[in-house]
Amino acid sequence: MKIKTEISLVMCLLVSALAIQIPCYAEVTKLSAEHRKALQDFSRFHEIRATKNLPPAVVALCADESGRLAEPGQKWEITDVITDVTLPRKRLIWAVTDGEYYVVHYERGGRGHSFHMLVVAFTKGDAMPRDTWYGAGNQLKDYPAFIAALHKGELDDSLN
């Protein structure tokens, strides 16, 4: 009887440990059907490799409190222990655009290192976006991985 109890306890602990590690996501609810459809056409989008190639309004939406966004691979402050005040607290991972939409994947340091998505839609000729959408989730390798995560419900936009 004692062995069965110990096995049951071990199984409960194992199941609990696995359940804690499974990320929880809320369904993406705030990204309109119009925007979802426009984002599906991979052929329209090309990669942006530097923050200087993003419109200032887009950078402002994903920059840190000091207006800084580190380049991909550049040094930045990943934790809440500040070792260099000149380093940004956020860093660009990748971005794409089709001229109307900008999709930006960036990471934020601090107490909890996190990964974020920003979708911004511009009307031709405007300096300010007409629509913005934020989501959070895991680090995504590239734009196709973003579209896949969107389809699978692996991004959370409930914290906007």
- pLDDT per residue as tens digits for the range 40-58: 998 999 999 999 999 999 9
Of all residues in the chain, the percent with pLDDT exceeding 90 is 65
pLDDT at 2: 53
Q: Which two tokens stand for residue 107?
A: 């990471």
Reduced to 3 states, what is the DSSP secondary structure of residue 121? strand
Please determine, for residue 7, whether its predicted confidence score (pLDDT) is greater than 80. no
Q: Considering the domain boundaries, does residue 92 fall inside one?
A: yes
Residues 49-56: contacts with CB under 8 Å, at least 24 apart = 50/92, 51/92, 54/95, 54/102, 54/104, 55/102, 55/122, 55/127, 56/127
Q: Considering the domain boundaries, does residue 9 fall inside one?
A: no
Q: Considering the domain boundaries, does residue 13 fall inside one?
A: no
Q: Considering the domain boundaries, does residue 12 fall inside one?
A: no
Query: What is the model's pTM?
Result: 0.80
Domain that holds residue 74: 28-152
Q: Considering the domain boundaries, does residue 17 fall inside one?
A: no
Q: Considering the domain boundaries, does residue 55 fall inside one?
A: yes
Q: Considering the domain boundaries, does residue 4 fall inside one?
A: no
Mean pLDDT within 63-76? 95
Number of domains in the chain: 1
